[in-house]
Amino acid sequence: MPFITLEGIDGSGKSTVISLLKERLLEKGLDFIVIREPGGTLIGERIRSLLLDPNYSLSPIEEVYLYATSRAVLVREVILPALKNGSLVISERYIDSSLAYQGYGKGVPLKLIYEINRPAIMGLYPELTILLDIDPLICLERLKDKKKDRIELEGLTLQRNVRHGYLKLAEFYKERYLLLDATRKPEEIVSEILKELKRVIR
């Protein structure tokens, strides 16, 4: 079964889409797991709280290492064993988040991000990446009442650069990207995803 990732800026609606997608996949009786980054393992969740705690400050390159460490543990402990077992694996965020946020968003050279992540992901790239694309201004409105984590507190300019980065990645990796308008209804987004899944599962 394939490995699939879901990407998008903060507030693009990934969590809503994932929970609806889960329901639909359960109805279909598919064998699948859903995970999130950073996190998804005991160590990963500890790293997640370090990364997102507004009381700490980290440089962009320090972030790259921490996200890559969380990713390495997730790939080794969860993703590879699940794929080996024949499960479909869906991850909310993966290496493209590091390229978009730490690379396009914060100026870490993309080459360096690939080099640090290469041993972490052990050659595992997703077969399909769904990008929920949306104007950050709309997200700002959506996230208005949410308690913000450290990255979300960095503001609109970061989210704009991250969005631009994702669109560049979608252009570069055309063969694995599915670009979806995140202002559409979650039900519609999920049926597009299911259509595409049918194609990659075959």
Residue 44: Cβ-neighbour burial (10 angstroms; 0-12, 13-18, 19+): buried
Query: Looking at beta carbons only, is 85 or 157 nearer to ligand TYD?
Result: 157
Phi, psi of 16 (to 5 degrees): -60, -45
Q: Give the one residue of 151, 170, 180, 190 binding ligand TYD; rule: CB under 6 A.
A: 151
149 near ligand TYD, rule: CB under 6 A: yes
126: which DSSP letter?
A: -
C-alpha 184/C-alpha 36 separation (Å) is 23
Q: By CB under 6 A, is residue 104 in contact with ligand TYD?
A: no
Distance in Å, CB of 37 to ligand TYD, minimum: 4
Per CB under 6 A, 7 contacts ligand TYD = no
Using the rule CB under 6 A, is 44 a contact of ligand TYD?
A: no
- Binding footprint of ligand TYD on the chain (CB under 6 A): 10, 15, 36-38, 67, 93, 97-98, 101-102, 149, 151-152
